[in-house]
A and B are shown apart, each in its own frame.
Chain A
């Protein structure tokens, strides 16, 4: 790489934004990471002092978050985020794809429908949250809809239910994680067998066996907490998921529609000539072709759901633990309880989760760009 005039100009042009990014993004990430390793805020007298005494305590705060008695709320929040992400992405992808396929049938007034479906995305989460908060009131909106046709009103507590389903013991987490990894490895093995890549079959099969054995022996021995702790899916999240899917499914539809339009008419015709039914055309020809879109949509929706804050703040308030997520807890811990180190640690956990979604995606898309 030679330094010619062009490169120098380019470097000078980029320098201001590199410096600003370096300080205001990466510098502050670094500062948050450092804060999370200290005890800032543990002693209320030091929390807001002019020159607080801050000690370096290593991973103590993280350990507390994952094992502490009062931090049960943080662990439930992680569980909440997991289920919210799962149902939110599934809802958006399902509804988005369904709408896109319907619009793909060359119906009359497609433009109008497209705009209507896409419109919720133009709203901010605060507006969506406020509107849906009203719609989901215990004695109004959705719950009184059945009375229009003479039925009894619904009794469901969309945002305030205290019921929890899909309960599990936090102690069993290693077991379930092991099970999940084993299933993924098994799937790798099966696809490798189909493609007759025998070396890959061997590696996947061996790892599968290893993980399975560990899951049913070792994982049962791991003690995450000294006592059983029950977590599960809070039904109060149903309302939040409903509103979030309403907002983002139109966007997913737009992504899919672009993908569907990219599939050439020739391919469809060819499949039909080969005797494929319309269902088979979609299942065997079109859906495999729009798979990259599914991945992009999952990444985009995934990082939205991991960071979600404003929607829940507007719908249920910050204080309802049944609809709590780590981002809200971070706000409460930092600005109400003055526990800056703990807030920073929650922020870092969030960052790691979002990075786990984003970085592989960026990496693979950068790599494919270089190839091109």
Chain B
């Protein structure tokens, strides 16, 4: 039984009030968290670069983000003469709204158990409810829907600016987002196959039995790694931040934006980092799972959740401080030629394993079916890919490539005989 128990017995004004409070709290908390994320990132990256970072506004520069926010409000709102007035105004709001909506499906608290019946609920004003804004039946698909709609914000911002650099930045950004959405979606599918549900609430509950039931482990690490990489690319975070490669593109798709409209893009970007971290915790790290000690039992899950999210925020900043930016062709070949084939193979593997579990076969049968068929699929896909690459090489040899080097058509470092796994055949 999924869905919010709040609405199980009809809807009255009290339910609507609780819903309103939840929406407001989520909105405000996310906004404040975003402010502190900006501070956190700047402070942490200065630490890693042996600088001091923001230290003027407030203690340890804590109020820097607020000061910047106020500044943005009072700056002049510029609009290029060439811009498309309507779309230019619309684009920042699409970015900001999608960033907010995706957070709605994240359970941020509640003690989950893996026993049948309702769990993970808290009691607010005498009514039982869940600590997430919404638990729609499509669950995690909402994340994919929002991330595909978020492409519009970037794309329209670049186009409507009526200027070259934003357009190039936005075409890069949309191509990147669309490419990595496939890998992202497939790693979500891995989670859904293993957990057997789309609802984020139920996904967290499927991981309630302890660390060895976390989907990180039960899906076998690979989906998590693919999710982390594709999420970084979806977020346009370093090392995948070609969208705003300052040296080439000025500021990327938001070059022409100023004042509060720029602030909205800025906000959406950092908010998406928080949302993606929260989604990663929900999907792979047990969400709110963690030992409950003394006292306030309802508080501990939220504490664990926040701690895990903070760890991922740290990881994203760490990426930025450590990794150099990828070239555009490296970015595309990583997405299409590595992540997607790996995920296709892994989905086949997980699907076979789930088949064995559903059918209740014995361990011997499990080993034979899962390993045998996986190996067969891998061999088939690999030989097809090798044959295709060999044919391509033969064609280039006979027809000639002009000034192009044949190796350039291969993925970086791959020869026709050493292609990565692939079983799209």
Q: A and B, one complex?
A: no
B residues contacting A by CB (< 8 A) are none
